[in-house]
Structures are given as structure tokens and as C-alpha cells.
Amino acid sequence: MEKFYSRLNELNSKIDKVLHIITGDFNTNFTEQFTDNHYKKLKNALSDVHNVLTLKLTFKFIELLKEFGLDESEIEIEKKKIDSISPNSKGFDVKIDEPIKILAEIKCIIPDKKNRFNAAQRKNLFLDAVKLRYKNLGFDSSEYLKFLVIQDNGVETDEAIISFLNYKPTKLNSERQNRKIILEDLIYLKDFGNIKELEKSKIYIIKI
């Protein structure tokens, strides 16, 4: 007799495996005790997990700014400032005015199984690039160095970034035409190198 496949069992098994690792209890099938309310609470918590990962990645980026002349006290001030802001606040994830002008958007995204960013991830990367380079937010962004900071998931992230930068739409509409223009401003920066060589007219993609 053919074994019956249950999508519900597979999904619950994945959740249980994660909870086993987190709790250290490998004997309990947690989802067997779940009510619909438990699933709802877990779903709400997952958005908080994403916000935590984004905040931690933001802190890592701030730490890297020692290369740009920020001292320890300035780094701590910037981290506290960022930590005090709601995750849904408007503006940039990082905006620093002194001792150097920096704008950054932070992306906690994981490539798909083919080591590519999916359509929604690509769209958000383009939107953030537009925000960094072109959007009028009440100050002169042309005076700032600009970064798209992506979570480092190893070679998968490298390949996804390269694929993103080689984006070639099969059919052009106004949005895709704008994406081609934006791509000309994007550079994959594998190390900071000499800060004096960075151009304020470009958007630098880095992974950390």
C-alpha cells in the first residue's frame, strides 16, 4: 500500500525539529499539543525573530565603521540610537552624519535553494536602492556613502548577489527599465579597502 503523504505532518515535523534544538528536549512532539492559538502566537513571534536578526546585523555593520574613523564611544552612541527606534519607523536603518556621512539599509534575507534571491527579495532590494540613491527625504543624500547590507549565508549569498547584479529582464516595462538604470549604481564590495576610493554616487552591497 502506498504511504500517505501528509503536508500537515511534514510542516509540524519541521516546527518540532526547530523546537527540539531550541529547548534541548528531543522527546516531545510539541505540535501535538498545539492549538490554533499556539500557532498564532508562534507566527507573531517569528516577525520578532526577523526584527532581532535585523537589529543584530545592524549592530555588526556599525562595528565595521571603525574602519571609517568611528571610535568606540561613537559606535556605542549609534547602536543605542538605533536600538531605541521602533522596527517599523520610517527613514533609513542607519543614518550617520559625523564623523562621516553614511546611509544604509539592512537586509536579513536568505537565498532560495538555487542560490538566488526570490522575486519579492529582489523587488525590496531595488526599492531600498531607489530609497538610498534617488528618493527625496528632506536632506541631500548625495553627500552620503550608501550601503545595502545583506546577511552573510556563505557562498549562497555570494552567488545570489552576483545573480542579482546580473539581472536581465526578458521583457521591459517602466519598472524593469528603472531597475536596469539602478543596477549601474550598484557595486558588490567584498572589503572596505580605502574609504577614499568609495564614491558617494554608488550604492555598495556588502555581506556580513
The residue with greater pLDDT, 67 or 1, is 67
Residue 14: is its pLDDT beyond 80? yes
Indicate the pLDDT class of residue 169, thresholds 50, 70 and 90. confident
| Residue among 155, 148, 152 nearest 188 (CA) | 148
Q: Are 89 and 131 a contacting pair, CB within 8 Å?
A: no
Percent of the chain scoring above 70 in pLDDT: 96
Q: Are 205 and 188 a contacting pair, CB within 8 Å?
A: yes
Q: Residue 171's domain spans which residues?
A: 8-207
What is the number of structural domains in the chain? 1
| 66 domain-assigned | yes
Query: Which pLDDT value is given to residue 206?
Result: 95
Residue 1: is its pLDDT beyond 60? no
| 174 domain-assigned | yes
pTM, full prediction? 0.86
| 2 domain-assigned | no
Question: In whole angstroms, what is the distance from residue 203 CA to residue 208 CA?
Answer: 16
Q: Which long-range contacts (CB under 8 A, 24 or more apart) does 15-18 make?
A: 15/42
3-state secondary structure of 150: strand
Average pLDDT over residues 6-33: 95
177 alpha carbon, distance to own chain's centre: 24
| Residue among 91, 94, 35 nearest 62 (CA) | 94
Q: Which amino acid is at 173?
A: N
Indicate the pLDDT class of residue 176, thresholds 50, 70 and 90. confident
Indicate the pLDDT class of residue 34, thresholds 50, 70 and 90. very high
| 98 domain-assigned | yes
Q: Which amino acid is at 156?
A: E
Query: Which pLDDT value is given to residue 168?
Result: 81
Indicate the pLDDT class of residue 69, thresholds 50, 70 and 90. confident
| 179 domain-assigned | yes
Query: Which pLDDT value is given to residue 61?
Result: 95
| 145 domain-assigned | yes
Query: Which pLDDT value is given to residue 194?
Result: 66
